[in-house]
Structure 1
């Protein structure tokens, strides 16, 4: 098969592993920057032009679309879909998962547990918002933040009011979430491929850091999920329509709480923690569907 990895950086660990896994299974694989694709819209003949050549005979694509290029990256994925090319992550599911507010609403409607969350449209009454999630300590997140950037832990109500007012002053939209103390600065990531959990790890923030992101210096170790955690992760992936994703959860006294669902999860941390060939699982997912 001819497989394309849509990635802006061919040197990233995840991109390299996907190419390596595809070639090991005797497929042709190419890395293409979605921002350098020209979309040709024509009746009954959609096409994509890349560096002066028309992309033809493509069997499948693996979108690795960064959050900063979601709009155009998703348009390229949609164009491939119009060309009857299989996508590991569908364009609509990609858009749905990138909108943090929308994805939380979808997860909530499906009955999944999550930290109590408030979104407001630049409210002037920050104290009321703070009270509605149970008061400080609480977590304030930028809607567009990734990898732990734009996430603040406010330990007092005054600090929370100041942060919320500062973000609003910058015209930055935020969500306010209750702080889950019993999680102790750790979260769980379940990696899902084609409706199956192919790996799971527990990420622990470094000392004095409540964010567990590996990019922020956190550590990871393999973990066995409980039945409740497995069911929550699988249901989250299903309701968002994602064939490949990372589901981030907190362990709490009231069961697993979904933090977010990542439609372009990195492979480095999960493969290092679990010693599993996750990239191969993604290629086999393509083989089953093309």
Structure 2
């Protein structure tokens, strides 16, 4: 097969590992910058041109779409889907997961545990939304924030109101979440591929930091998930329609609570912590899916 990794930087760890896994499995690999793809639509059907050349011989693409280019990146993935090129992560699932509010609404609808969360058109005089979260402290998150950026811990209700007012004055939307004190500044990342948790790590924030993101100095160690944690991770990924996902959870007195379901989870932290070849698992999923497609096509021909 000819498999392309959609990535803006071929030197990134995740991109390099995916290319290595593709080659090790005996396939042809290439890296395509999705922001340099031209999407063409005419009576001949959908097509994509990259650096002046028409891409018409790919079997699969692996999206590594950054949050800042979600709109264009998912348009490229969608075009490949229209061209019957397989993607282990669908364009609609990427779009769904990148919308923090929508993703939390979906998780809530499916009865998946999460910190109490609220979104409001805040009005200081009339709004009592904080009562739905619980007592302070409260976590305030920008809807567009990533990697722990745009996340504030307000220690008191008065501080929370001030922070919300500040964001509102900048026309910036935020969500409010219950602070899970017993998590101790740590969270769990469960990596899901094709309905299976293939690796899990516990990320601990540095001292005095309630955010556990590795980009912010956190440390990661391998962890064995409880049955409830594994079940929650799989249910969360399925609810978002993601065959490949990084599910972030907190350990709480109420059980596992999902913070986020990531459609482009990084490989570096999870592979180094677990020593599992996650990249190979993703390629194996593509191989399995392509075989199913071929069998289905043959069955339709003989029907």
Please report the TM-score for the alignment, with normalisation by the length of structure 2: 0.94
Matched, 1:76 2:76: yes
Q: Say whether the 8 Å CA contact 1:186–1:202 is kept in structure 2.
A: yes
Aligned to 1:33: 33
Unaligned runs of 5+ in 1: none
Matching of residue 50 in structure 1 with residue 45 in structure 2: no
Cα gap change, 1:44 to 1:221, in 2 (>3 Å): same
Offset at residue 56 of structure 1 (A)? 1.5
Correspondence for 2:269: 269
Which secondary structure state, in structure 2, belongs to the residue aligned with residue 41 of structure 1?
Answer: strand
User: Secondary structure, in 3 states, of the residue corresponding to 1:87?
Assistant: coil
- d(CA) in 2 for partners of 1:123, 1:85: 48
Aligned partners of 1:220 and 1:101: how far apart in 2? 27
Structure 2 gap ranges (5+): 291-303
SS in 1 for 2:42: coil
In 2, Cα distance between equivalents of 1:44 and 1:194: 34
In the other structure, the counterpart of 1:143 is: 143
> Aligned partners of 1:143 and 1:121: how far apart in 2?
13
Return the alpha-carbon distance in structure 2 between the equivalents of residues 193 and 132 of structure 1.
35
1:159-210 per-residue CA deviation (whole Å, 9 max, x = no partner) reads: 1111111111111110000000110000001000011100000000000000
1:129 to partner: Cα distance: 2.2
Which residue number corresponds to residue 248 of structure 2?
Answer: 248
Q: Identify the residue that residue 171 of structure 2 maps to in structure 1.
A: 171
Aligned pairs for 1:112-151 within 5 A: 112-125=112-125, 128-151=128-151
Question: Which structure has the bigger radius of gyration?
Answer: 2
1:289 counterpart = 2:286: no
Tell whether the 8 Å contact from 2:142 to 2:174 is kept in structure 1 after alignment.
yes
Worse-matched range after superposition: 156-165 or 239-248: 156-165
Cα distance change on mapping 1:253 and 1:27 into 2, 3 Å: same
Structure 1 runs, 4 residues or longer, greater than 6 Å off: none
Aligned to 2:298: none
CA–CA separation in structure 1 for the residues paired with 2:42 and 2:28: 28
- TM-score, normalised via structure 1 length: 0.98
What does the per-residue CA deviation read over 1:227-249, in whole Å, with 9 as the maximum and x for residues that have no partner? 11111000011111101000000
Matched-pair contact (CA < 8 Å) for 1:126–1:161: no
1:152 aligns with 152
RMSD: 1.1
